[in-house]
């Protein structure tokens, strides 16, 4: 039995992970789950999966859970999340929290030399250099990517030497607004931006997909996970979302991972790696029904997220952290109706321009820069 902690069990990735586990109860056991605000769903999950450890956002709700389930260990808040990341009994920690708030729990899981099934891409963007140093210090810890693109890259690299890689080709659906002009995007609403053509995901990542900043985050994540130079990472628009990403090797051979757009596959692979297993939860791709697989350039004049990410990544040090923090607050302000869609790019650009870069090799600096950047965006574009 592999014991799994799911950080962010009430979210889109978290609920998919519980479906994967639910279909394989002879193999996986839920050790701990964490939600933040969705009390009712967390309660349902406790009833169904009987985890030993639980974490929720507030102390009030944690007290209610303690009364309801006196035999369970209940944590709350940021410290609770951190404790959940480092549970000794866990074999695998799935980080399915949205945002840089996931960093410290990931750090704890690495320090306890766990397998981290990493969905929380913001951790690798904001703190990638620090996390990579930590992985050297705790060599038994491992990160297996859950993001579909990075899982695809990871799967395509299996059996090859990293030195044989020429290019990482990350595919992008193009998001809700593919083909739109800057003029079209001036007045888009939150509802329009939340409609993703191919994937059903949490609100923050859905907005990131519509700005293509999600691809920017993924470029930095890919650099941090696979150690490939930014000049050898490419992004292509692939509207069908069937090819989840590809690796081009030195002999010009390209290996791709393809399948239906369903996060349960990369989640399960991160749990069962290095093995592959069947499951009633995994859908087959009907190749005969595929009419077209097309690939195109990103329109960087409209969707500026990828170029901003390349700038942040190539600058390095604390700049990717600023890119991420500014985006997190900008998305929050957009969702609250306080800024317009295109201002998301403006905020990230200006936040990076005003930042004085520092070494990003320790957690204190990352936390400080994250906090300062958030404050800068709130001070200039919204309120805290
Ligand atoms: N969804 C996808 O298909 C997908 C694909 C690839 C990568 N990812 C990545 O996976 C991560 C999760 O994405 P998602 O779409 O699953 O997000 P989501 O649906 O918004 O879920 C986020 C989870 O984090 C919890 N949470 C939110 N704020 C928190 C806080 N301050 N402290 C502790 N927990 C908090 C939420 O709890 P409550 O709901 O209870 O408030 C929820 O369980 C993101 O990093 C995203 O980029 C997602």
For residue 61 and ligand 1, the question of a CB distance below 6 A is answered with no
Of 11, 46, 221, the residue with max ligand 1 atoms within 8 A of its CB, to mutate for a pocket test, comes to 11
For residue 205 and ligand 1, the question of a CB distance below 6 A is answered with yes
Of 46, 54, 96, the residue with max ligand 1 atoms within 8 A of its CB, to mutate for a pocket test, comes to 96
Q: Per the structure block, which two tokens stand in for 181?
A: 């002009």
For residue 75 and ligand 1, the question of a CB distance below 6 A is answered with no
Residue of 58, 67, 55 whose CA lies nearest to 14: 55
238, 161 in Cβ contact below 8 A? Answer: no
pLDDT digits (tens, 9 = 90+) for 140-175: 999 999 999 999 999 999 999 999 999 999 999 998
Pairing mode, if any, of strands 165-172 and 243-249? antiparallel
Q: Per the structure block, which two tokens stand in for 113?
A: 């030399």
Nearest alpha carbon, ligand 1 atom 8: 119
Write down the pLDDT at residue 196: 80
Give me ligand 1 centre to Cα 11, in Å.
Answer: 5
Nearest alpha carbon, ligand 1 atom 30: 36
Give me ligand 1 centre to Cα 146, in Å.
Answer: 13
Give me ligand 1 centre to Cα 41, in Å.
Answer: 14
Write down the pLDDT at residue 198: 79
Q: Per the structure block, which two tokens stand in for 374?
A: 């958030």
Write down the pLDDT at residue 197: 78
Write down the pLDDT at residue 199: 77
Write down the pLDDT at residue 87: 98
Tracing tokens 């990544």 back to the chain, one arrives at 313
Q: Per the structure block, which two tokens stand in for 344?
A: 């998301």
245, 152 in Cβ contact below 8 A? Answer: yes
For residue 35 and ligand 1, the question of a CB distance below 6 A is answered with yes
Q: Per the structure block, which two tokens stand in for 297?
A: 């350039």
Domain ranges within the chain, ordered by starting residue:
2-145, 150-315
Phi, psi of 312 (to 5 degrees): -60, -45
DSSP codes joined into one string, 115-163: EEEE--HHHHHHHHHHHHHHHHHSTT-EEEE-SHHHHHHHHHHTTS-GG
Entry field: residues in the chain? 384
Q: Which helix (H) or strand (E) holds 213?
A: helix 213-226
Using the atom order of ligand 1, give the atom closest to the CA of residue 99. Answer: 45
Cα gap 205→212, rounded to integer Å: 10
Q: Per the structure block, which two tokens stand in for 118?
A: 């990493």
Write down the pLDDT at residue 276: 97
Burial 230-247 (b: 16+ CB within 10 A, else e): beebebbbbbbbbbbbbb
Give me ligand 1 centre to Cα 8, in Å.
Answer: 6
For residue 122 and ligand 1, the question of a CB distance below 6 A is answered with yes
Cα gap 147→300, rounded to integer Å: 23
Cα gap 67→72, rounded to integer Å: 10
CATH of region 2-145, choose from 3.50.50.60, 1.20.1090.10, 3.40.50.720, 3.40.640.10: 3.40.50.720
Of 13, 65, 117, 144, the residue with max ligand 1 atoms within 8 A of its CB, to mutate for a pocket test, comes to 13
Cα gap 235→297, rounded to integer Å: 8
376, 350 in Cβ contact below 8 A? Answer: no
Give me ligand 1 centre to Cα 93, in Å.
Answer: 14
Give me ligand 1 centre to Cα 77, in Å.
Answer: 15
Cα gap 361→79, rounded to integer Å: 22
For residue 101 and ligand 1, the question of a CB distance below 6 A is answered with yes
Q: 49: burial class by Cβ within 10 Å (0-12, 13-18, 19+)?
A: buried
For residue 328 and ligand 1, the question of a CB distance below 6 A is answered with no
For residue 352 and ligand 1, the question of a CB distance below 6 A is answered with no
Write down the pLDDT at residue 180: 96
- Write out residues in the chain with pLDDT < 70, as ranges: 383-384
């Amino acid at each position: 039995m592999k014991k799994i902690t799911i950080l962010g069990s009430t979210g889109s990735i978290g609920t998919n992970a519980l479906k994967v586990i639910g279909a394989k109860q002879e193999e996986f056991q839920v050790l701990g789950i964490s939600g933040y605000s969705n009390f009712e769903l967390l309660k349902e999950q406790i009833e169904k999966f009987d985890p030993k450890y639980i974490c929720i956002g507030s102390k009030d709700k944690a007290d209610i859970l303690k009364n309801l389930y006196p035999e369970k260990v209940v944590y709350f808040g940021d410290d609770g999340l951190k404790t959940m990341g480092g549970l000794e009994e866990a074999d695998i920690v799935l980080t399915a929290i949205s945002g840089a708030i996931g960093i410290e729990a990931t750090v704890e899981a690495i320090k306890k030399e766990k397998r981290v099934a990493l969905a929380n891409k913001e951790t690798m963007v904001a703190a990638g250099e620090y996390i990579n140093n930590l992985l050297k210090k705790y060599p038994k810890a491992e990160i297996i990517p859950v993001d579909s693109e990075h899982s695809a890259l990871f799967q395509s690299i299996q059996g090859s030497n990293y030195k044989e890689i020429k290019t990482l080709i990350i595919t992008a659906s193009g998001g809700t607004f593919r083909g739109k002009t800057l003029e079209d995007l001036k007045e888009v609403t939150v509802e329009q931006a939340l409609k993703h053509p191919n994937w059903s995901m949490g609100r923050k990542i859905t907005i990131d997909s519509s700005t293509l900043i999600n691809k920017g985050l993924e470029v930095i994540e890919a650099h941090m996970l696979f150690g490939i130079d930014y000049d050898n990472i490419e992004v292509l628009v692939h509207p069908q979302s069937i090819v989840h990403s590809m690796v081009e090797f030195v002999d010009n051979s390209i290996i791709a991972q393809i399948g239906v757009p369903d996060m349960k596959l990369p989640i399960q692979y991160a749990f069962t790696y290095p093995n592959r297993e069947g499951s009633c939860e995994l859908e087959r791709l009907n190749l005969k029904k595929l009419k077209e697989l097309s690939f195109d350039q990103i329109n960087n004049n409209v969707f500026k997220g990828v170029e901003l990410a390349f700038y942040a990544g190539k600058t390095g040090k604390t700049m990717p952290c600023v890119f991420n923090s500014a985006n997190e607050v900008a998305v929050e302000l957009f969702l609250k109706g306080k800024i317009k869609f295109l201002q998301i790019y403006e905020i990230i650009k200006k936040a990076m321009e005003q930042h004085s870069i520092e070494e990003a090799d320790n957690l204190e600096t990352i936390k400080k820069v994250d906090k300062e950047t958030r404050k800068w965006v709130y001070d200039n574009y919204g309120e805290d």
